[in-house]
Amino acid sequence: MAWKVVKTRTKPSADTPYELWSEDVIAYMQTNYKDTGKWALESMATSSDNLSITYTIIFKDEAAKNELASDSTIAAERTRVKTIHEANNITEEVTMDEEV
């Protein structure tokens, strides 16, 4: 069965920038997860006040989600971005992480 993850990032003001993932890691994710069908769908919605972004990701299955979560390349980039976000008071909340 497919696995759905929904995350919302919220920043304290419209002037606070989100840190973007590096182009190298995005390309890595494309090759290793999207092109292989492990990462099946992604959508992004921005709140009307531009303070929150909600990401929805559908993985092929829980094993694909867990593989991405434990991938050392992705984990390193996630840590880098999270550190910058925390320094800028940007929060992230997982609102769904379950089989669909």
Which domains, ranges and CATH numbers included, belong to the chain?
3-99 (3.30.70.100)
Query: What pLDDT is recorded for position 27?
Result: 97
Residues contacting 87, CB < 8 A, separation 6+: none
| Residue among 49, 42, 54 nearest 95 (CA) | 54
pLDDT over 90 (residue 81): yes
Helices (H), 8-71: 23-29, 62-70
Please give the model's pTM, rounded to 2 decimal places: 0.91
Give 19-66 pLDDT, tens digit per residue: 999 999 999 999 999 999 999 888 999 999 999 999 999 999 999 999
Polymer length of the chain: 100
- Taking CA atoms, 51 is separated from 18, 41, 87, 88, in Å, by 10, 23, 16, 13
